[in-house]
Amino acid sequence: MKIAMLGSGFIGRFYAGSIQGQRRPDRIISIYSRREESARKFADDYGCEHWTTNMEEAIAHPEVQIVCIALPNNLHEAAVHLCCKHKKAVITTKPLGRNAVEARRMLEAVESAGIFAGYLEDLVYTPKFLRAYESVKNGALGRILWAKSRETHPGPHSDWFWDLEQAGGGCILDLGCHCVEIARSFIGKDIRPLEVMCWADTQVKPIDAEDHAIGLVKYENGAIGQFEVSWTFRGGMDLRDEVMGTEGTIWINNFLRTGFEMFTTGKGEGYTAEKAESNTGWLFPMGDEANDLGYNHMFTEMFNALEKGVEPRETFYDGYVVNAILDAAYRSAKTKLWEPVQLDIWRGRTGVTRDSHLTEYDTEHYLVKEELTHYGARKLILKNKQTGKITEKVSDHA
């Protein structure tokens, strides 16, 4: 692939490291950055033949096959419209829009232009997520009841994130977009999110947006998604997911304390890991940060999809649904009520009811629970189907 990168900041560089790492044939041939020195420096660092401070010039570059948007949230939409104008395939970082209205306009624009469009939600491409997802899809966890995702860290690294107008929100939008898509993927992207209850507050930072929030997303099949986000968490970046189903459980720790622990007095030590607050004492580095954060699998899947002419697994439609869920979270944080998810475009299933959760014990009873106790008894808790009476049956005494 010949790529134009828009933005030479934090994520643009992470993406470039992933795209051009491990002897990939893909190359960033054009870089757009707001400032000339940043564009030149990025071009030098990654061997780009063309740099510019004019966004449209990078997109329109005749050799560019796909445009990667790595710009502040308020610039995603304008960049997407330019890609439509020049009929260039586009992939954009998260969140798709600052809200669902922007996201919907972007979705409709790429669809009417007929261009390939991918949503760069890296955290559903981490090696651990991909493995967990396979297990969930194979039924190893049974019916998914609850999926929780947490992203908390000490706050973002650039001025614009802290400005409500440019960012479009605080940690709900910045971090909640990851958590919502993770939970949605485990629960089933074809299951309609119905309503959201969210608490949010500005607990520490002198900003207009929220710096801490917890939310619940109710799905049509009865499953619940939960997100926990913070820009005020101390101690690094905490990325953890939990999935609970009728047949099993998965816990994933993607970042902090994942089995690599190191002590140093600080001599000779520089960078530790994203958002790590220290480089002395006991540290928790990552083995291969870009891979562990999902960037490698994400770009492989995006570029393969473009080459094969199929949709990637994360589309602008997914970005739109995520924005719509987060809009409801913002409304709920204000009203303190369950707020409906307003999805003007719904492409999944409708009218999905809960699967039966009853286990037959015999013709007269349902099984509530079976347990082997520490004193060797096998206990069965049963419910009579007719009378509703709960009884227990004890057998196999030690």
The contact set with ligand NAD (CB under 6 A) reads 7-12, 33-34, 38, 70-73, 75, 93-94, 120, 122, 158, 160, 174
| CA–CA dist 322, 120 (Å, integer) | 12
Cα 99 versus chain centre, distance: 16
Q: In the complex, what is the shortest distance from the CB of residue 64 to ligand NAD, in angstroms, rounded to a whole number?
A: 18
Q: Which of residues 69 and 305 has its CB atom nearest to ligand NAD in the complex?
A: 69
Interacting residues of 46 by C-beta distance below 8 A, sequence separation 6+: 16, 20, 28, 31
What number of residues does the chain have? 398
Q: Which of residues 151 and 339 has its CB atom nearest to ligand NAD in the complex?
A: 151
Structure tokens at 125: 């491409």
Q: Which of residues 70 and 147 has its CB atom nearest to ligand NAD in the complex?
A: 70
Q: In the complex, what is the shortest distance from the CB of residue 178 to ligand NAD, in angstroms, rounded to a whole number?
A: 7
Q: Which of residues 159 and 307 has its CB atom nearest to ligand NAD in the complex?
A: 159
Per the CB < 8 A criterion, the answer to whether 231 and 206 are in contact is no
Q: In the complex, what is the shortest distance from the CB of residue 112 to ligand NAD, in angstroms, rounded to a whole number?
A: 24
Q: In the complex, what is the shortest distance from the CB of residue 305 to ligand NAD, in angstroms, rounded to a whole number?
A: 18
Q: Which of residues 12 and 319 has its CB atom nearest to ligand NAD in the complex?
A: 12
Q: Closest residue to ligand NAD, Cβ-based?
A: 9
Q: In the complex, what is the shortest distance from the CB of residue 45 to ligand NAD, in angstroms, rounded to a whole number?
A: 13
Q: Which of residues 94 and 192 has its CB atom nearest to ligand NAD in the complex?
A: 94
Query: Tokens 């999809």 identify what position?
Result: 305
Angle between helices 295-308 and 10-19 (to 10 degrees): 70
**Three-class SS of 332-359:** HHHHCCCEECCCCCCCCCCCCCCCCCCE
Per the CB < 8 A criterion, the answer to whether 350 and 337 are in contact is no
Query: Tokens 């099993």 identify what position?
Result: 248
Q: In the complex, what is the shortest distance from the CB of residue 167 to ligand NAD, in angstroms, rounded to a whole number?
A: 8
Is residue 49 within a helix (H) or strand (E), and if so which, with residue range? none
Q: In the complex, what is the shortest distance from the CB of residue 108 to ligand NAD, in angstroms, rounded to a whole number?
A: 20
Q: Which of residues 130 and 140 has its CB atom nearest to ligand NAD in the complex?
A: 130
Find residue 151's DSSP bridge partners.
229, 239
| CA–CA dist 4, 173 (Å, integer) | 26
